[in-house]
Structure 1
Amino acid sequence: MEERLLARTTIDEAKQKGEESPHENDSSSATLVVVLSTMVALCGSLCTGCAIGYTSPAQSGIMESLGLSVAAFSVFGSIDTIGGVIGGLVNGTLADLLGRKATMWFSEVLCTAGWLLIAFGKNAWWLDIGRLLLGFGNVVNCYLIPVYIAEISPKSLRGAFTSANQLMITTGVSLMYFIGNVINWRILALIGVIPSLLHILGLFFIPESPRWLAKIGKHKELEAALQSLRGENADISKEAAEIIDYTEAFQQDSERFLDLFQWRYAHSLTVGVGLVMLQDLVGSGAIVCYSSSIFANAGFPSSTGTISMAVIQVPAVALSVLVTDKLGRRPLLMISAVGTCLSCLLIGLSFSFLGFDKLQHLTPILVYIGIMGYIVAFVMGMAGLPWVIMSEIFPIYVKGSAGSLMTLVDSLCCWLVVYVFNFSMEWSSSGAITIYL
């Protein structure tokens, strides 16, 4: 009885601070079910990466086939962020009402429809609607997949497992860069639909999040899911009781969106929103989506540049996954921010050399070096860690509202960056990059 009261007191202290439960599974082992569930969830991350990387290799083919202007293609390239704004308004609510699995299933159905509309599109309207659906589905996945993985993983492995989300996003981007240079843009869209189909199929074989089951009062289902995740011979009684106690400690709280803006969540909210704004306002969307045109403007072969990006970013993300729990979130974010800043400075200066006859020959190679440095720095920290941190700093009863707010801010900032980039490049190549410093 004393242990129960002590546990409840500690939970109440965590509640006042807006923290996750201090009593979590400390097991360092990951069962086959945890690994399988994580891999299934990461299929959604792979789909997101394919959507992000699609526009760069497909740009010239789409513009030639459908006769699109720069303005029309800018709409296509950025309209996924409009879908993201819509998704950001409802993703947390959907995840709380329908559950983690059902919401992921719904988002992947939309992504599948989006890819098919792009693949078989006869005009810009088809492509724009398909891209809009992709944006909605992917922004739901960007929020929900790290949350789901964090809620099923052992505490000691949570950082590495949730960081794998960014690894798969990067793999998807690299896949599009690799094969997009040699195949038609319609076939590329059909390849993009494969991760969504795998995700839809895999969701039938993995358990629901125990924390969400506790939230809706399904304690028997919670124990069954937790037993599946921890192994048949594992004693899950203590962990199950702690999850239930922690969830009930928040039961009295309202789930209105405005409740997120209470003073006790001020620090978490500032950190979460600030990180996703930083993630976009360093120009990541512009460089990833329009890397081919950046290389072309610098006089560097686009295919060589995009393939190099595909090659270098996967090991960079893999390294970040390995060191996330050892170095910590904050040091990696600081290293990432400094690296992207210096890289943008180098790219901007390189484009300014085009105005000097004696320095023009330096522009292609320096832009190449700058973009490679930018990609490595970005994917090692700012690309994925904001979502990992978000999944950890908000308690379960405001996590849905926090996720909606963060994805909404992320989508609006990303749309601003991606939409105006082509126009700013026509105005000033150097200024278009340097502004992200």
Structure 2
Amino acid sequence: MDCGKEEFVGILQENKKNMTVKQEGKKFQQYFCAIIASIGALLIGSVLAWTSPCLLYLKYPNYSAPIQITNEEESSWIAAYTPIGAILGALPAGMIADTFGRKLTLIIFTVPWTGTWILTTLVPSVTFLYIARFISGVIVGMFCAVLPMYVAEIAEVSIRGTLGTLFQVFLTMGILFDYALGTFHSYLILCNSISAVSVIFLALLPFIPESPTYLMKKNRKSDAEQCLQRLRGPHYDIQVELSDLRKRLESGTQDSFSCELLLKRENFLAIVISVGLMMLQQLSGVNGVIFFAEKIFNDAGSTNSAICTLIVGIVQTIATIVSSVLVDRAGRRILLLISSTGMAISLIGLGYYFWLKSHGNAGDLGWLPLISLVAFIIVFSLGLGPIPWMMSNEVMGPEIKSFGCSATVAMNWICVSLVTFYFQPLQDVLGAATTFWIFSAICVAGVIFVLLVLPETKGKSIQEIQNELAGIKNINNVNGKV
């Protein structure tokens, strides 16, 4: 009996010690490094949105493009090579990042990426344009896995959500960058401007540290300590965080990944959550809705669809920035629930308008598709846009992160390809109304998925999240009361 009492008192004392060592580090270096890394996401957005203005430039000789494309098949392949490359680039991304490091991987592959933009500017034939778009796609797929991984590994728990959403914030800024320059300037100015951003990104990368997680994986303890001290500030006691990181790495089998690891409860649930969120993000039809935006604006009576598309880009960027502010305050689950529900309602509105139009009863409802589209973009940007990229890195343990991030990003791009290629055929066969209602049903399924499967990760350490997924009650929740 006495032994049990002493053991219980010891547990309480250990928990009191754990609660007293909690501290907050300086945030400047973390924001600085995350913002520099996220410039890569701006370049990703530029790759994705490039076709919107530039296919128009390439079709007509009066836009001063270096070549002119002569048929729709060439346009389709220019657009298709990027997602194909992204799928192939995502698959080895985790292994490459574990071999060379997150920082060095970004530096190595930004060099050819800059070259693709120079090639796009001076392209002598459509074949070279295919090559440039494919190589860009490979690097996009790789960076979609490595950039969120790096930011998650340098971020403190209290701002991990905010820093994690910077990926989507900068991605939408890249899309807006293309829309703005594409609307008011020429092909050459747009491509040269993106090349300049790529050069700036390459010049800034040496100023950020390597990920402490990677350094500890490679048994470079001294380098990991220096890196973590730089990120947290000179007066921050890094030993508790280093100890936690070491325990997490030692509990896994980093160099002997096997299928058995995926059968562990916490790892299996982490993969299900990550892949599920990526599928919901793309199968919600977001790319189809955005691609359909010009027709929606025309149906709403707009006389300048290019300006309206630019407005959509501005709205998307602002809403994503709002999400970055809310995600560490409101939490991940509530934003995802609001996002999925709002998207479902918006898509029902779009479908209803086109159903009425197909029956000749649309009348004066030209405002409905416009309002539905803007609402869809806002709620998507609040939740399903930024959070899947961030949350996949939060829920994965270090032993499966390399494989898991590569697999989930590859799944994301597979779904991008499916929606891109089959959106128009679905409309041709089923009609626009039914197509939008199918996407709405997927969003409703997303609400159920979030309610039943997703844990709330706000304010929790990686170890606490892993314990929750494994079904282990965290002893640190003891508050000293019997």
TM over 0.5: yes
Give the distance between the partners of 1:417 and 1:196, measured in 2 at CA.
Answer: 29
1:52·1:288 contact (CA, 8 Å) conserved in 2? Answer: no
Scaled by the length of structure 1, the TM-score of the pair is 0.87
Match of 2:477?
none
**Structure 2 residue identity aligned to 1:202:** L
190-199 vs 420-429, greater mean Cα deviation? 420-429
Aligned: 1:34 with 2:30: yes
Aligned: 1:348 with 2:351: yes
Match of 1:362?
365
**Structure 1 residue identity aligned to 2:422:** V
Q: CA 1:348–1:60 in structure 2 vs 1: closer, same or farther (change >3 Å)? A: farther
Q: Secondary structure at the match of 1:28?
A: coil
Deviation (angstroms), 1:64: 3.1
Deviation (angstroms), 1:290: 5.5
Q: Secondary structure at the match of 1:397?
A: coil
Give the distance between the partners of 1:62 and 1:298, measured in 2 at CA.
Answer: 28
Deviation (angstroms), 1:88: 1.7
Scaled by the length of structure 2, the TM-score of the pair is 0.80
2:25·2:233 contact (CA, 8 Å) conserved in 1? Answer: no
2:278·2:412 contact (CA, 8 Å) conserved in 1? Answer: yes
Give the distance between the partners of 1:158 and 1:93, measured in 2 at CA.
Answer: 23
Match of 2:47?
51
Deviation (angstroms), 1:48: 1.3
Q: Secondary structure at the match of 2:50?
A: helix
Extract unaligned runs of 5+ from structure 2. 1-6, 62-67, 441-482
Match of 1:207?
209
Residue from 303, 311, 323 that aligns with 1:308: 311
Q: CA 1:343–1:241 in structure 2 vs 1: closer, same or farther (change >3 Å)? A: same
Extract unaligned runs of 5+ from structure 1. 11-21
Deviation (angstroms), 1:183: 1.6
Give the distance between the partners of 1:266 and 1:77, measured in 2 at CA.
Answer: 34
**1:92-136, CA deviations, whole angstroms, 9 ceiling, x for partnerless residues?**
111111111011123323432332333222443222222222222
Q: CA 1:386–1:358 in structure 2 vs 1: closer, same or farther (change >3 Å)? A: closer
**1:237-264, CA deviations, whole angstroms, 9 ceiling, x for partnerless residues?**
3322332232122247722467435444
Give the distance between the partners of 2:432 and 2:72, measured in 1 at CA.
Answer: 15
**Structure 2 residue identity aligned to 1:271:** I
Moved segments of 4+, more than 6 Å: none
1:53·1:288 contact (CA, 8 Å) conserved in 2? Answer: no
Whose RCO is larger (CA < 8 A, sep 6+)? 1
Larger Rg computed on CA atoms: 2
Give the distance between the partners of 1:175 and 1:297, measured in 2 at CA.
Answer: 26
Deviation (angstroms), 1:189: 2.4
Give the distance between the partners of 1:414 and 1:297, measured in 2 at CA.
Answer: 25
Match of 1:326?
329
Give the distance between the partners of 1:94 and 1:289, measured in 2 at CA.
Answer: 33
Superposed counterparts of 1:370-389, under 5 Å:
370-389=372-391
Aligned: 1:242 with 2:244: yes
1:353·1:362 contact (CA, 8 Å) conserved in 2? Answer: no
Match of 2:463?
none
Give the distance between the partners of 2:285 and 2:228, measured in 1 at CA.
Answer: 41
2:169·2:320 contact (CA, 8 Å) conserved in 1? Answer: yes
Deviation (angstroms), 1:340: 1.6
350-359 vs 73-82, greater mean Cα deviation? 350-359
Q: CA 1:27–1:44 in structure 2 vs 1: closer, same or farther (change >3 Å)? A: farther
Give the distance between the partners of 1:356 and 1:32, measured in 2 at CA.
Answer: 58
Deviation (angstroms), 1:68: 4.3
Q: What is the RMSD of the two structures over their aligned residues, measured on CA atoms?
A: 2.8
Superposed counterparts of 1:395-434, under 5 Å:
395-424=397-426, 428-434=431-437
Give the distance between the partners of 1:379 and 1:340, measured in 2 at CA.
Answer: 10
Q: CA 1:98–1:256 in structure 2 vs 1: closer, same or farther (change >3 Å)? A: farther
Give the distance between the partners of 2:285 and 2:183, measured in 1 at CA.
Answer: 23
1:74·1:419 contact (CA, 8 Å) conserved in 2? Answer: no
2:35·2:166 contact (CA, 8 Å) conserved in 1? Answer: no
1:26·1:154 contact (CA, 8 Å) conserved in 2? Answer: no
**Structure 1 residue identity aligned to 2:105:** T
Aligned: 1:288 with 2:284: no
Give the distance between the partners of 2:291 and 2:113, measured in 1 at CA.
Answer: 18
Q: Secondary structure at the match of 2:236?
A: coil
257-266 vs 93-102, greater mean Cα deviation? 257-266
Give the distance between the partners of 1:206 and 1:418, measured in 2 at CA.
Answer: 36
Residue from 52, 56, 62 that aligns with 1:60: 56
2:282·2:412 contact (CA, 8 Å) conserved in 1? Answer: yes
Give the distance between the partners of 1:77 and 1:322, measured in 2 at CA.
Answer: 33
Give the distance between the partners of 1:308 and 1:100, measured in 2 at CA.
Answer: 35
Match of 2:224?
222
2:254·2:398 contact (CA, 8 Å) conserved in 1? Answer: no
Residue from 130, 133, 145 that aligns with 1:131: 133
**Structure 2 residue identity aligned to 1:355:** S
**Structure 1 residue identity aligned to 2:391:** I
Match of 2:451?
none
2:225·2:238 contact (CA, 8 Å) conserved in 1? Answer: yes
290-299 vs 209-218, greater mean Cα deviation? 290-299
Give the distance between the partners of 2:147 and 2:48, measured in 1 at CA.
Answer: 17
**Structure 2 residue identity aligned to 1:53:** A
Q: CA 1:107–1:376 in structure 2 vs 1: closer, same or farther (change >3 Å)? A: farther
